[in-house]
Copies of this chain bind each other. A is one copy, B any other.
Amino acid sequence: MALVVQKYGGTSVGTVEKIRNVARRVARTFDEGNEVVVIVSAMAGETNRLVALADEISEFPSEREYDVLVSTGEQVTISLLSMCLQSMGYKAKSYLGSQIPVLTDSAHSRARIKSIDDKKIREDLQSGTILIVAGFQGIDPAGNITTLGRGGSDTSAVAVAAALKADVCEIYTDVDGVYTTDPRMVPDASKIEKISYEEMLEMASLGAKVLQIRSVEFAKKYNVVIHVRSSFSDKPGTLVMKEDRDMETVLVSGIAYNKDEAKISILGVPDQPGIAAQIFSPLGNAGITVDMIIQNVSQDGKTDMTFTVPKADCKKALKIVEVIAPKINASGIKHDGDIAKVSIIGVGMRSHSGIAQTMFETLAKEGINIEMISTSEIKVSCVVAAKYTELAVRVLHEAFGLNKLESGE
């Protein structure tokens, strides 16, 4: 007998009929002799409906009240799924975040889970009850309802799995696992059987949006095995877990890309201590996340400073930079929103050399100019012109042997 935590997202519970499908799958897992705790999101469309009401009422709705509002979405789903299981003859019981409780900090709409009390859940499990828990929500020490931010149900599921020391946390979604790259771009992309937390974090942050980043961080911290799989099939999906020996034999696990960044260059910056802080502190204070930063070798005591920011923040960043540039005697500013970041990811890189080189050569062979490079222990990222994104991903996918045939599927 295993303790299985399952999480179903909004599209999996989007209609009454889909909720019935979820109930059947939950029931089957229970019938196979497992203890089952289910975390659900709001029915697809429901959160948007609620947010639209808030927007209609107020331009800047209070975050506390916003959380009171949107948390009703999951509350509806847990009750409906519980009713459905009961009508099938199972013992089922719903839990709100506040009833468990899932204790969070007080950062409304982006709260972080601090602790989960497993007492009530364990008692109910022992009585043969299937538990249905509202994802995405918690309660702060003062008793206010909090939410974890969009996609927070993944984090709820992993956190509940961690608190219960569950054998596995199954995240059901509309894809059947994590792929070596975006299958819409590369039809030959193959499903990854096992991937380490670190690799998954790089994949997720670089644009492969299967799992919420924070849920992977949480899983890594508490060593929760995540099984990403499809709610429409029974095939096994992808296990996200602690790095093991097998993984190291794979040089590159996946190719990620991100078209949501823009590049800003400050030209002719005097190369002297403190300049970087003068540039990046105001950006940080304005809440702008700077991703890659490149500083060229200085010539005549001057250097060019290039960095990327989320495209949505580009205008805001430029305004700030335009104020700073004259103060630091920079000679000019350039920016380019037409870029893409393409990355190869793999824990195998740690123990193998020449991987970055293969990447550069592969891109060069296709005439793709590399505008920026950044590397970490388990990834190499290159910024290229946006128009080359598909080509770059496809040739890298092939160059590192990730196509279906070679992966044996």
Check A16–B53 contact: CB distance below 8 A: yes
A80 nearest CB neighbor, chain B only: B57
Among B57, B69, B82, B96, the residue within 8 A (CB) of A62 is B82
B62, B65, B78, B84: the one contacting A68 at CB < 8 Å is B78
Shortest beta-carbon distance, A315 to chain B, in Å?
Answer: 27
Q: How far is the CB of A338 from chain B (nearest CB, A)?
A: 39
Q: How large is the interface on A (under 10, 10 to 19, 20 to 34, 35 or more residues)?
A: 35 or more
* CB-based contact B59/A86 at 8 Å: no
Q: How many copies does the complex hold?
A: 2
Q: Is A4 an interface residue (CB 8 A)?
A: no
A60 / chain B contacts, CB cutoff of 8 Å: 87
Q: How near does chain B come to A103, taking the closest CB pair, in angstroms?
A: 15
**Chain B nearest Cβ from A124, distance in angstroms:** 12
Contact with B along A64-94 (1 / 0, CB 8 A): 1110110110011011101110110000011
Interface hits, A99-149 → B, CB 8 Å: 99, 143-145
Distance between Cα atoms of A69 and B84 in the complex (Å)? 13
1/0 per residue A35-71: CB within 8 Å of B? 0000000000000001001101111111011101101
CB neighbours of A96 from chain B (8 A) = 68, 145
A72 to chain B, nearest CB (A): 4
Residue A11 interfacial (CB < 8 Å): no
CA distance A76 to B66 in the complex (A): 9
CA distance A57 to B57 in the complex (A): 32
User: Beyond A69-B80, A79-B65, is A57–B94 a contact (Cβ under 8 Å)?
Assistant: no
Contact assessment for A65 and B53 in the assembled complex, using a CB-CB cutoff below 8 Å: no
For the complex, is A19 an interface residue (Cβ under 8 Å from B)? Answer: yes
Our pick among B53, B59, B80 for the contact of A54 (Cβ within 8 Å) is B80
Chain B hits for A143, CB < 8 A:
99
Does A98 have its Cβ within 8 Å of any Cβ on chain B? yes
- How near does chain B come to A117, taking the closest CB pair, in angstroms? 12
Q: Name the residue of chain B whose CB is nearest to the CB of A16.
A: B56
Residues of A within 8 A of B (CB): 16, 19-20, 50, 53-54, 56-62, 64-66, 68-69, 71-72, 75-76, 78-80, 82-84, 86-87, 93-94, 96, 98-99, 143-145
**The 3 residue pairs across chains A and B that have the minimum distance between CB atoms:** A69-B79, A72-B72, A58-B87
- Can you sample 10 A-B contacts with CB below 8 Å? A16-B56, A20-B57, A54-B80, A64-B93, A66-B83, A68-B82, A68-B96, A72-B72, A96-B145, A99-B144
If A69-B75, A75-B75, A96-B145 are given as contacts, then 13 extra A-B residue pairs at C-beta distance below 8 Å, sorted by A number, are A16-B53, A19-B57, A50-B76, A53-B80, A54-B80, A57-B83, A58-B84, A60-B87, A61-B87, A65-B83, A66-B83, A68-B79, A72-B75
